[in-house]
Amino acid sequence: MANIIYAMSDSVGETAEMVARATASQFGEEEFEIVRVSYVLSEKQIDDVMESCVKNGGMICHTIVMPRLRAYIEMKAEKADVICVDILGPTLWAAERITSMEPSMRVGMVRQLNKEYYKKVEAMEFAVQYDDGRDPKGFLKADVVIVGVSRTSKTPLSMYLAYNSIKVANLPLVPEIPLPDEILRIPPRKIVGLLIDTYKLNGIRTSRMEALGVEGPSNYSDVDRINMEMEYAKEVYRHLHCQILDVSNKSIEETAAHIMTIVEKNREMDAELNI
């Protein structure tokens, strides 16, 4: 019969189980059975695991955070002559010594960090999927929709905001292409229209054309054409009743900070309205 390692935690128990499996792998998988015991929040739960451990001849490794329960496990393990390894305790003690700070002792912090990580990844995948108006259905699921003519930094902004766990879709404005119906179904407070100085945009577009190896005059970077696009953009923003940001002399970080403030206010409003 395989030996048993009980991986205990006052949260999900992923870390304790991972350490148990890493340990077992050094002896051959068939030698150990790993039993994860999650959300251990009472002495009774510890007693039950101890009984199983004594009965089956197993050992315990745990990542219990609460000092009271850690002390209880240590006391019960000593009485029952059960091998028990406190994975988290010595590391907390060492970190406390070098920082001269006390740990928060909040349960499930690693899990919370993982949630934030996956939320960020999800937002970045969202930004890629709904970049450049690729699928207007994304507008309805986005935290914010960025609208603007070509080369107003819509995509870099979207990715920067996504890194901050904000779901962003963006829509390029082209006078010859009608607006998708979905943009008209979004609350104006969730749309941000970008404006930029004509000559600033002319310089950006000219540099872009040169980078692509295109020489000579181009309608794309023509000042009159850009003026016409900007007038069209202003007309669209009036129609959408959306918020407007002039990005002419702003960095991506500055513009993103303004949009993050807008998103935060929208989230507070959504919470009040139970949306």
pLDDT in tens, 138-149: 999 999 999 999
Is there a common fold for 3-107 and 115-272? yes
Is pLDDT above 80 for 95?
no
pLDDT for the residue 206: 92
CATH of domain 3-107: 3.40.50.2300
Q: What is the mean pLDDT of the chain?
A: 89
Distances (CA, A) of 86 to 93, 104, 107: 12, 18, 15
More confident site: 231 or 102: 231
CATH 3.30.70 fits 115-272, yes or no: no
Residue 57's closest CA among 6, 111, 104? Answer: 6
Please tell me the distance from the alpha carbon of residue 109 to that of residue 74, in angstroms, as a whole number.
23
Average pLDDT of span 189-204:
96
CB of 46 closer than 8 Å to CB of 69? yes
Q: pLDDT grade, residue 114 (50/70/90)?
A: low
Q: How many CB atoms are closer than 10 A to CB 186?
A: 17
Rounded average pLDDT over 257-266: 95
Does residue 159 contact residue 205 with C-beta atoms inside 8 Å? Answer: no
Percent of the chain with pLDDT over 70: 93
Order of strands, edge to edge, in the sheet holding 32-37?
Answer: 32-37, 3-8, 59-62, 84-86
pLDDT score recorded for residue 12: 78
Q: What is the pLDDT of residue 180?
A: 96
Better-scored residue on pLDDT, 122 or 152: 152
User: Residue 175 to residues 154, 229, 267: CA-CA distances in angstroms?
Assistant: 17, 7, 32
Name the nearest CA neighbour of 192 among 227, 176, 166, 168: 168
- The whole-angstrom separation of Cα 184 and Cα 106 is 45
What value does the mean pLDDT take over residues 186-209? Answer: 95
Strands (E), 68-188: 84-86, 144-148, 168-172
Write down the residue that tokens 């006078």 correspond to. Answer: 175
- Going by pLDDT thresholds of 50, 70 and 90, the confidence category of residue 111 is low
Amino acid 166: pLDDT: 95
Q: If DSSP codes are grouped into helix, strand and coil, which group holds residue 130?
A: coil
Query: What is the reported pLDDT for 233?
Result: 98
User: Which range has the worst mean pLDDT, 23-27, 105-109, 123-127, 193-197?
Assistant: 105-109
What ranges do the domains of the chain cover? 3-107, 115-272
